[in-house]
Structure 1
Amino acid sequence: MKRFTSKVLTVMLFSTSLIGCAQNNETGSTPEHKTNTEPKTITVYRYGVNLTDEEFQKFFVEPVKKKYPHITLQMIVQDKGKNPEDLLAAGTFPDIIFTSNNTFQAFKDLKVVQSLDEMIKKDSTELKKVQPVIMDSFREYGDRGELVALPFSINVAALLYNKDLFNKFGVEYPKDLMTWDETIALARKLMRNEGGVQYAGFDSTGASLIATQLSLPFVDPKTNKSMIDSPEWIKVYKLINEFYRMQGFNDLKQIGREAFITDQTIAMLPLWADNFTGRFETEYKKGTLTLNWDMVALPNFPEALGTGREANVHAMMLSSLSNNKDDALKVMTYMLSDEVQTAIAKSGRFSTLEGTEFEKVFGAELESLKGKHIEAFFKAKPRKIHTPTKYDQTIVRGLTDAAAEELRKTNKDINTLVREYKEKADKAIAEAIEKSK
């Protein structure tokens, strides 16, 4: 009798278990999957952007190890023998590519980029927090609008100025969001030659960066013809020629960043933040920073005031060749956490997330930014990028700046100049297309 009762109970319990499973399936619930905590080494390939070993430890290794103890991160730095083609040939292509959106196309051409839409839900918390202009810009690189990367930090530019030169010549300091006409008028007041030293009011640093403040395309993606002869591009060349033709500009010993920081012969210079914040902090700590400087928001054309340059983002791409895609994606998405984004903001990198809380703590760890007009960084908002092509960075962008340099040296007729450089660009593009067949 006991044996019979035991069998009946066993059958009843088994049946109840089956019913419970069926009910769970009917309600759509799914059994929980255990997280795979098998030790993994995820490789991160730094290509064409700045990321020091200290930053890699602080922003990647330490927070990831705390969040995912089973993941170990290793950085591979682009160098001789470690170019993308070298890593492909050796079968050691990394899991994550840390680069800027300017080089996305190069990795797409190598066919090593994993589309992320298949792996990340579009309504995921991580993506909802990212500034829309960044996500919209990233999708421009997808052949069908797919997401090809996640952002880490965004680069922002400001107009730096030498306070000592303004004080020396009795000229009022620049203001946030000036028009280019206002900037030209201010620069003219600072064109001086005193004590045998030539000073200039402003250096545009070329044509291509000014063009990004209007999101001007380099190449027509439908025809593969350069667009540097458009009315908008001609407007850019006319603008920079206003500065080039100021009396004494071409008597400067040098132009650009070193003329502003070291020679201190240029009064105003637009610069990406990552081109000066790290250097200024290092020199400040050493006591060798002699430049008395501050900054204002970038000037622009009247129709574009309040916007800066196109989004320039340090980003993470997932390799389609990775054997650790799930864990690599965990690392990438964790870089968008409030914890990591707050840390990078305090260190002087710009968060890619929406929210003034990241602006408020920006540069908190940098002594060289104390007392500076940090708000200037956030008044000229990043612009969505133009529709990119594979020939923008490899061919046309360099030619637009070469044209600007020729204009500076020769004062050639601008219409003639852009026609000649368009012909050079179109010829180079046609040759590249033919070579790829």
Structure 2
Amino acid sequence: MSKKKGRYYVALCLLAGTVTALLVSACSSGSQPGAADRTEQKESSTPPAPEPVELFIYGGRYVSEEGFMEAYGKYIQRKYPHIRFTVYGNKNAADIVSSGQPIDIFYADPIAYPRDVGQFGLAYDMSALIKEFKFDQSRLYPGPIQVMQDTFDKGVTGLPLSMRNVVLHYNKDLFDKFGVTPPRDGMTWDEVYELARKMTRTEGGVQYRGMDFSTHVIDYNQLSLGWIDSKTGRASVNNAQWNELIRNFGRFYQIPGNEVGTPQAKEIMDWNRFGVKGITAMEATTFYPATVTKDLFQMDYASLPAFSSKPGTGSQSPATYIGITSSAKHPKEAFRVIEYLLSDEFQTMLSRQGTISSLRNKAVNDVFGADVPELKGKNLKPVIPSQAAAPAPFSKWSGQTQASYWTPLLNVFTGEVDLNTGLRNMEESINKKVDELNAATR
């Protein structure tokens, strides 16, 4: 190739390259969307904001809208601003259902939840939603979930929102006053009985009591005893196991000075003698934070004493349940709320504030009470469910027959009847109520 032709060829190549570059530049700056166009395109691809949703909440007749919003609602709305709530306050579940009003989310204690959900046909199986949302229910304590499955035989009808645990509360000031070593973790009921005898005394004209109980020691008993046989649907209390249970607690009320049903102690199962008057040394009940007695005395905790037949076993750990009902208008949005309330994030906050988490998560449970100054330095280990008793069998009538056994049982504690007579009376009272309930549903 001649030099002239070579120079001409190079010039053509340079021109072609320049034209190509110009075309590419033109495409990128002219025919392609500019920055404003790209922003508009991106905004048009952003999913639209969710439509506003109103959820109807029922947490029992004493739960107000203000109370719900303070405890739960304001946190939920930070995560889901499109959700607003209407809370049924000062209403019974019966009134809500009979008026045809919906309930999207129902939450209540372990007696009211299955009772009302069952009585008013509100049971709703959340299994499909649990699968759709890939919700890992193994993170939760399994016992309360099993109770709901046994009760309704209808899948997952309730999830634990928070837990309870029966522990031994004691008045540290009284033990210091009388120079008696206070209770410790791992004691038996026999050991605590002797301690109660030591602490029951009269001094300075004041009758001090060694021990009081709440109804929870029976309802959530360590022997996992229910009061209705789930197979027969009849009462199941007149037996050796219930005899052991009631005999254990009844003996404390036979200690001179620690009786009940007297002018000095008319109420049988009474927190006030311990937590308000400060005259009882020990109280076995579900966890109360030390804030409630801070102006009266120093309170601390020990594990619930064990039965010799169930060494190391604590109470059953009942839950505050939460679930969707069959009348829900927005089950998916309701489940989003439940999913958030059972998240590590929200449960950690509850735990720090002194509410027992429903999660079997050590990191969550390790911060229990961290934001409560009055719990600093307290023995909080027994407060978190560890070796809990297995859930007692629960039938569809258990919640509605619970009150039926209390009057005859209290007659045993006051000494009006002997234990064997009391157990027979309990059984008759429960069966009478069962018959009434069965007749009403025919």
TM-score normalised by L of structure 1: 0.82
Q: How many angstroms does 1:249 deviate by?
A: 1.7
Residue of structure 2 equivalent to 1:253: 264
Residue of structure 1 equivalent to 2:19: none
Is 1:46 equivalent to 2:55 in the alignment? no
Residue of structure 1 equivalent to 2:88: 76
CA distance in 2, matches of 1:416, 1:130: 41
Residue of structure 2 equivalent to 1:3: none
CA distance in 2, matches of 1:94, 1:283: 37
SS state of the match for residue 135, structure 1? Answer: helix
Deviates more, 1:317-326 or 1:402-411: 402-411
Q: How many angstroms does 1:70 deviate by?
A: 1.6
Residue of structure 1 equivalent to 2:10: none
Q: How many angstroms does 1:340 deviate by?
A: 0.6
Q: How many angstroms does 1:283 deviate by?
A: 6.4
Residue of structure 2 equivalent to 1:67: 79
Q: Between Structure 1 and Structure 2, whose CA radius of gyration is higher?
A: 2
Matched-pair identity in %: 26
1:233 to 225, 242, 258: 242
Q: 1:171 to 1:308 in 2, by over 3 A?
A: same
CA distance in 2, matches of 1:305, 1:376: 15
CA distance in 2, matches of 1:398, 1:58: 32
SS state of the match for residue 225, structure 1? Answer: coil
State the Cα deviation string for residues 106-160 of structure 1 (Å, max 9, x = none): 212211221111221299343131122333333222324x110122111122101
Q: 1:95 to 1:210 in 2, by over 3 A?
A: closer
Q: How many angstroms does 1:186 deviate by?
A: 1.1
Is 1:101 equivalent to 2:137 in the alignment? no
Q: 1:225 to 1:90 in 2, by over 3 A?
A: closer
Is contact 2:157–2:323 with CA below 8 Å preserved after alignment? yes
State the Cα deviation string for residues 150-175 of structure 1 (Å, max 9, x = none): 22111122101111221222211101
Residue of structure 2 equivalent to 1:13: none
Residue of structure 2 equivalent to 1:147: 156
1:117 to 121, 127, 141: 127
User: For residues 36-435 of structure 1, what are the structure 2 equivalents within 5 Å?
Assistant: 37-47=50-60, 53=66, 56-77=68-89, 79=90, 82-103=91-112, 104-121=114-131, 124-144=134-154, 146-206=155-215, 209=218, 212-250=221-259, 253-254=264-265, 256-273=270-287, 276-277=288-289, 280-281=290-291, 284=294, 289-378=295-384, 380-395=386-401, 397-410=402-415, 412-435=417-440
State the Cα deviation string for residues 405-435 of structure 1 (Å, max 9, x = none): 2123235321122112212222222232123
Q: CA RMSD in A?
A: 2.6
State the Cα deviation string for residues 294-318 of structure 1 (Å, max 9, x = none): 1111112123333322232112120
Q: How many angstroms does 1:34 deviate by?
A: 6.4
State the Cα deviation string for residues 361-395 of structure 1 (Å, max 9, x = none): 11122122122111121365433322212332222
Q: Which amino acid aligns with 2:163?
A: I
Q: Which amino acid aligns with 1:42?
A: L
CA distance in 2, matches of 1:90, 1:34: 38
CA distance in 1, matches of 2:381, 2:177: 26
Q: Which amino acid aligns with 2:52?
A: P
Structure 2 unaligned segments of length 5 or more: list them. 1-45
Structure 1 unaligned segments of length 5 or more: list them. 1-32
CA distance in 2, matches of 1:107, 1:383: 25
Residue of structure 1 equivalent to 2:3: none
